[in-house]
Amino acid sequence: MSDPRPSTLRTDTMPAWTQHRYGEADAIARETVDVPAPGRGEALLKLRATGLNNGDIRVMRGEPLLVRLAFGLRRPRQPVRGMDAAATVVAIGDGVTQVAVGDEVVGELPGGGGLARYALSPAARLVPRPPALDAVVAAALPIAGGTAWQALERGGAASGHRVLVIGASGGVGTFTVQLAVLRGAEVWALCGEQNRDLVEGLGATRTLDYRRVQPGSPELEDGSFDVVVDIAGTAPLRVLQRLVRDGGRVVLVSGEGGRLLGPMGRILGASLRSIGSRRPLRPLAATAKPDVLAELIALAAAGSLRPVIERTFPFDAAPAALAHVAAGHTVGKVVVTAA
C-alpha cells in the first residue's frame, strides 16, 4: 500500500463509536481502535462528515432479523455505523487508480464505518467532491439521494408525468420531490402538516397532510398518477395500485412488516399483484451507484439540488444523532461532523 502522508495520519489508533450488540443508541460506545490499513482496491479515508440513514438504524437494531444474515448473526460484523461519507483520501491500497492521496471524495461505505476518524472504502465507490460543495452537504447525498434517483428511474418518471410521493419530508422523500421536479414532472406529496411549506418550497405542486389524507381518500382519485413512490410503506398495496393510470407504476421504497422478515411479505405480495397487471408494483432495492452519485454531486454543486439537513451533530454526540434518527421523525437528513 502507499504510505499515508505523515502530516495527515499521525497515529495507529483512532476514536470510533462502536457497538458489540444489537440494540438502540445506548448500545453505542466510544472506543479507541486501530486505524485500518487499506487492502487491494481500497482507500483509507479521513472522515469530514457522515450522513445517517434509516438503514443505519436497521443495522444498529438488527431488525428485521433477516438483516443479520448480511450484517452479522449475533452482533454487527462492522461495529461502526454510518454509511454516507465525505472524506479525504489519506492512503490507498494496491491497484487503486480511481483516487489519489489528498483527494476530497464522497461515497457510500459498505456496511458502515463513518462514525470514526478513519474508514475504509472500495476506491471504485468514491466520487470527487468539488471545492464548491460543502462536506456536510455532500455527506447527505449518497444513500437517500441515490435511492430517490433509482426510485424515479424504476418508476419511469418523465416530463409531463404526475408523480405522487408518499412520505415526502424525510431524507429520501425530499430528494424524490426535487429530482422529480427536475425531470419535469408535476409532483404531489403526502407529508406532515408542519412540513407542507418545506415540501412546497422544494417544488411540489400540491401537498397533503398524511394524517388527514391517505391513499384512497377522495383527494387522491383512482387513476390520477403516472408514478407513485411509496416511501412510508404503510398503505395497502391494492389502494396504491388503484392510484396509477394503466401503464403507470408504483415504486415501493420501504415497507413495514414483522420482526423476522420485515417487508418481505409486502414485497412478495407486490410481485403477485403485478403478474399480468398494467399497473405494476415495483419494489426497489437501491444499490451504490457511483455514476448516479456523480450526477447528484454535480446538481448539488450547481445549486439545482438542495439537500434538506435538519440537524448536524458533533462527533462527540454521535449516539444522540442515531437516537434522533431512530425516533423516526427526521425532516430531511441528519449529519455528524468529523472528530
- Residue 203: is its pLDDT beyond 60? yes
- Residue 10: is its pLDDT beyond 60? no
Q: What integer is the mean pLDDT of 5-15?
A: 64
Q: What integer is the mean pLDDT of 39-62?
A: 97
The model's confidence at residue 161, banded by pLDDT at 50, 70 and 90, is very high
pTM: predicted TM-score of the whole model, two decimal places: 0.93
How many percent of the chain have pLDDT more than 70?
96
How far is Cα 339 from Cα 316, in angstroms, rounded to an integer?
7
The whole-number pLDDT of residue 6 equals 40
pLDDT tens track for 26-48: 999 999 999 999 999 999 999 99
pLDDT tens track for 312-336: 999 999 999 999 999 998 999 999 9
The model's confidence at residue 9, banded by pLDDT at 50, 70 and 90, is very low
Q: What integer is the mean pLDDT of 214-233?
A: 93
The whole-number pLDDT of residue 11 equals 66
- Residue 220: is its pLDDT beyond 60? yes
- Residue 176: is its pLDDT beyond 60? yes
- Residue 3: is its pLDDT beyond 60? no
How far is Cα 236 from Cα 250, in angstroms, rounded to an integer?
12
pLDDT tens track for 280-302: 999 999 999 999 999 999 999 99
- Residue 186: is its pLDDT beyond 60? yes
Least confident span in 115-129, 151-165, 260-274 = 260-274
The whole-number pLDDT of residue 299 equals 98
The whole-number pLDDT of residue 1 equals 46
